[in-house]
Amino acid sequence: MFKELNFSLEHHQVSALIGRNGQGKSLLMQLLHKISPTTEMHISGQINWQTKHAYLSQLTRLQSDTIAEALEVNHLYNAFQRVEQGEARYDDYDLLEGHWDLPNIWEALLRSAQLPTDLDFPVKQLSEGQKTKLALSALFLKTDHYLLLDEPSNHLDQEARQWLIAQLKKHPVGALIISHDLTLLNEVDHIYHLNEHGLQHTTGNYEKFYEQYQFQIEALEQSVHQHQREVKHMKQKQHEVLMKAQKRERAGNKLRDSNSQAKILLDFKKEQAGQSLGAIHSQHQRQIDQSQQDLKSKKVLLETVKPQQFIFPSFNKRTGEILRIENLKLNYGTQQPIHLALRACQKISFGWPKWYWEINFAETD
């Protein structure tokens, strides 16, 4: 899937890996974390890390029972608990030496993420957005690790995404993220664009990358159009040479019929002209074939680098009720039954103290 990728990640900075779906962004990040997806995959080359690193998978966020376990601080938390209860052992004090400020750090980070500060709180009672923030918090505690984050803004609302951006900027070692979130991509320091032709690096955020990217596409489109004109010109020139040769041949036949020149001389000139015409025709054809092959390669390149577009057909406007909810109860948040009826073209928003969703319903079929 990858051919001779060569790149380096900047320390103390946030970089983004972008590209079309299916290009292998997640696979590349797994390889950077030294995870081989299959034993059958042949991998060559070297990956050299100069610092420790941590990885957040796109699909598997948490497999923990409590917040303490999710933060990977369960052994420290239990030691603090024994100290508070007067049941500490000597090894507890050895473990906590130089780390007495950790409870305050944990609490501040959880509060900033609007998560429960009780480290015994069950993870299963958290929403998906809260679980994502908790998984990210566990990595942000690893201040000496470079972070590899695959779609870190999944399940996050706008407020939580701003929290994520703030934490990424504060993380001392740096991070590489895979994301389709333009708000997040415009806060990074470097863009790495992965496509069929390799990995392109741009210093700056997504807006700067996209500006340069558009220039490249426009230049390639102009090159394709110029090449098309050149191929057309070559074919016209070939046609003109053929017409002139046919005209000379008719003139030669006319002289032959008039017997004004010796037949042997006319035959010699005819043979010589035929050989010359054949050589010129072959040369023109080779040039046309090569030019058409180059044009085809440029068209394929243009097709692979142009942004993907989705065109959705328009449908007749819907009216009336499109959604009804009755006696819905959530496992978290309010315990009051929820009743809701939504009509086409209506816009509504839901708000809770610890999280916020905004759902816009436009005209739908």
pLDDT number for residue 138: 96
Q: In terms of Cα–Cα distance, which of 347, 344, 349 is closest to 363?
A: 344
Question: How many angstroms separate the CA atoms of 61 and 69, rounded?
Answer: 13
pLDDT number for residue 320: 81
pLDDT number for residue 323: 85
CB atoms within 10 A of CB 49: 11
Give the pair of three-digit tokens for residue 202. Answer: 């741009």
Residue type at 279? A
- Interval 241-268: pLDDT, tens: 777 766 766 665 565 555 555 555 555 5
Question: How many angstroms separate the CA atoms of 161 and 133, rounded?
Answer: 9
Query: Is 43:210 a contact under the CB 8 Å cutoff?
Result: no
Mean pLDDT check: name the lowest of 99-103, 276-280, 281-285, 360-364. Answer: 360-364
Higher pLDDT, 253 or 43: 43
Query: Is 182:210 a contact under the CB 8 Å cutoff?
Result: no
pLDDT number for residue 130: 93
pLDDT number for residue 351: 57
- Interval 100-158: pLDDT, tens: 999 999 999 999 999 999 999 999 999 999 999 999 999 999 999 999 999 999 889 99
Indicate if the alpha-carbon torsion angle 105, 108, 111, 112 is positive or negative.
Answer: negative
- Interval 297-336: pLDDT, tens: 656 565 555 555 545 455 566 778 888 888 888 776 667 8
Give the pair of three-digit tokens for residue 190. Answer: 């470097």
Query: Is 313:224 a contact under the CB 8 Å cutoff?
Result: no
Indicate if the alpha-carbon torsion angle 17, 21, 23, 25 is positive or negative.
Answer: positive
- Interval 192-217: pLDDT, tens: 998 877 888 999 999 998 888 888 77
pLDDT number for residue 132: 94
CA end-to-end span of the chain: 40
Examine the pLDDT at 35 and tell me if it is beyond 60: yes
Residue whose entry in the numeric block shows the structure tokens 């004004």: 260
Residue whose entry in the numeric block shows the structure tokens 């990995």: 199
Q: What is the mean pLDDT of the chain?
A: 80
194's enclosing H/E stretch is strand 190-195
pLDDT number for residue 240: 75
331's enclosing H/E stretch is none
Question: How many angstroms separate the CA atoms of 260 and 250, rounded?
Answer: 15
Question: How many angstroms separate the CA atoms of 356 and 312, rounded?
Answer: 29
Any residues with CB less than 8 A from the CB of 248 and at least 6 apart, and which? 273
pLDDT number for residue 171: 96
pLDDT number for residue 279: 60
Mean pLDDT check: name the lowest of 20-34, 105-119, 275-289. Answer: 275-289
Residue type at 308? Q
Helix, strand, coil abundance in the chain, percent, nearest 5: 45, 15, 40
Question: How many angstroms separate the CA atoms of 45 and 66, rounded?
Answer: 40
Give the pair of three-digit tokens for residue 167. Answer: 């934490």
